[in-house]
Amino acid sequence: MKYAFCNEMFGDEPFEKVWPDVRKLGYTGVEIAPFTLFAGGEPVDVREISANRRTEVKQQAADAGLEVIGLHWLLAKTSGFYLTSPEKAVQRATAEYFKALAQLCADLGGKVMVLGSPPHRNLLPGVGYDEAESYAAEVLRAAMPTCEDLGVTIALEPLGPAEGDFMLTAETAIDLAKLVDSPSCQLHLDVKAMSTEPNSPDVIIRESSDWLVHFHANDPNLLGPGMGDVEYGPIFEALRDINYAGWVSLEAFKYEPSPQEIAKQSIEYMQEITKAIEYAEDHPTN
C-alpha cells in the first residue's frame, strides 16, 4: 500500500513544518486541497497561483520526501462554477476551471483530481437527475482533452445522502464516467461514503475494480481508519484482490485529539491490517 494524507487536516500550519513530520510516520504522498495554497479569503481561483508558488509547493513536498499525488476539494471556496448547471455560461466556466485545475495538478507533479464538491454539483431547482447527469458529462467532456494531454485523471467521488442528492453511489459515478467516455475520467471511492450504500465496501470495491483509480481511508465517525466501527481487513483484502496499485489517502473530517495523532493512529492501524493480510497469505491454513 502507498499511503498519502490530505493536507487540509493540518489547517494553516506551514507545509514545510508539518510535512516532514508526517513523512516520518510512513506517509509518502500528499493530496492537496487547492484552497490551502492561498493565504486566506474567498473566493479562490487557482489561475491566480503563480508559477513560483507552484514550484515552491512542489519543492516543499520533495524536501519532505513526499510526492504530490493530486488534488481534491476541487471547487471548495470558489464562485461561479457548478457541475450540473443547465446554464451554458456556467458549464463553460466550470469546464475551463477544471482545465486550470488539471494544469495546477500537473505543475505540482500530481496525476489525479478527486471530484467531490457536493455544494457545486447537487440538483438545482427544476433540474432532474438525468438532466443533471447530462450537464455534468458535457462539462467533463470539455475538460478531457486537457486532462489527457497533461496525464491527469478526474476521479468521480460518490458521496452519501448526508452530503447531497447527486452521484450518491459508485454505480452512478461509473454511469457518469461512461457518458464522459475518456480514460481521464474514472472512479474514486471513499470509505465513509461507501458505508452509506447497501453493499459493503469490499463488495463495492470488487464490483468497481475496472474503474477505480483512487481511494480515501476514513470512518463514518469522521475520524481516521481504525478509529471507528469500520473493519479494514475486508477492505484491504478487496484492494489486494483487484490488484489496486493506486494510493490510499487519509481524509479525516474531525481532528480530535489532534491531526498529528489521527495521522499516527491511522497509518499504524492500516499497516497492521496490511501485515496481517500478508501473514495470512504466507501462512495459509488447511
pLDDT tens for 62-119 read 999 999 999 999 999 999 999 999 999 999 999 999 999 999 999 999 999 999 999 9
pLDDT for 6-25, tens place per residue? 999 999 999 999 999 999 99
How many domains are contained in the chain? 1
Residues of the chain with pLDDT under 70: 286
In this prediction, residue 220 carries a pLDDT of 98
CATH of the domain at 204: 3.20.20.150
pTM of the model: 0.96
pLDDT for 285: 73
Residue 11's pLDDT is 94
- Domain assignment of residue 21, given as a range: 2-282
DSSP string, 191-256: HHHHTTSSS-HHHHHHHTTTTEEEEEE--TTSS-TTSSS---HHHHHHHHHTT--SEEEE--S---
Contact between residue 192 and residue 160 where contact means Cβ atoms under 8 Å apart = yes
The amino acid present at 152, given as its one-letter code, is V
